[in-house]
Homo-oligomer: A and B are copies of this chain.
Amino acid sequence: MQIKLSAEPFNPWQILHDYETEQRQLAGQYGATAVFVGTMRDFNQGDDVVVMQLDHYPGMTEKQLTRIVEQAQQQWAILDGLLLHRVGKIEPNDTLVIVAVWSAHRGDAFDASRFIMEALKKQAPFWKQETLSSGEVRWVSSNSDGYLKPAHNAK
């Protein structure tokens, strides 16, 4: 189980490849890996975004992330998990977050990875500040429900 913040850019597929390779004891045990990768878009709420600053609360952020992963472990049959979140100055197309869950069966991995992502968005103390192409600098005021189309809000 690995929970980390990174001030440096990373390639999510390389991270996942390396992590899985290191966890030799998992080989043959897991049948399911569910992964979510969050990536910085170059637009938000109709505006072009050129760069982003991702602030956090050192200490509390790690504490909350650890709690969220532990809650997932209590609820689902998880073999291993990886949670890596970027902080600092971020450019479009940089990876913001990786959540990966390994389990024997798919339902546990699917549920747990989504639970971790949704809880992270609600509870982990991170704050995004966007610099727009117009030069305007603004704090993102809240996270969306995660769907492009409003129709999905009702779900």
Q: Which residues of A contact B (CB under 8 A)?
A: 11-14, 16-17, 20, 27-43, 76-77, 92-93, 103-111, 114, 117, 144-149, 152
Contacts and interface: CB of A to CB of B under 8 A. Distances in A.
Given A13-B20, A37-B35, A146 B29 contact: no
Contacts of A36: 32-35, 106, 109-110
Contacts of A105: 144, 146-148
Contact of A148 (B42, B93, B104, B147): B104
A39 B33 contact: yes
A28 B42 contact: yes
A144 to B, nearest CB: 7
A41 B31 contact: yes
Given A104-B148, A108-B147, 7 more contacts: A13-B14, A27-B93, A32-B38, A35-B35, A36-B110, A107-B152, A108-B152
B148 A108 contact: yes
28 contacts: A13-B13, A13-B17, A28-B42, A28-B43, A30-B41, A31-B38, A31-B39, A32-B36, A32-B37, A32-B39, A33-B37, A33-B39, A34-B34, A34-B35, A34-B36, A35-B35, A35-B36, A76-B152, A77-B148, A103-B148, A105-B146, A105-B148, A108-B147, A108-B148, A108-B152, A110-B114, A110-B146, A111-B152
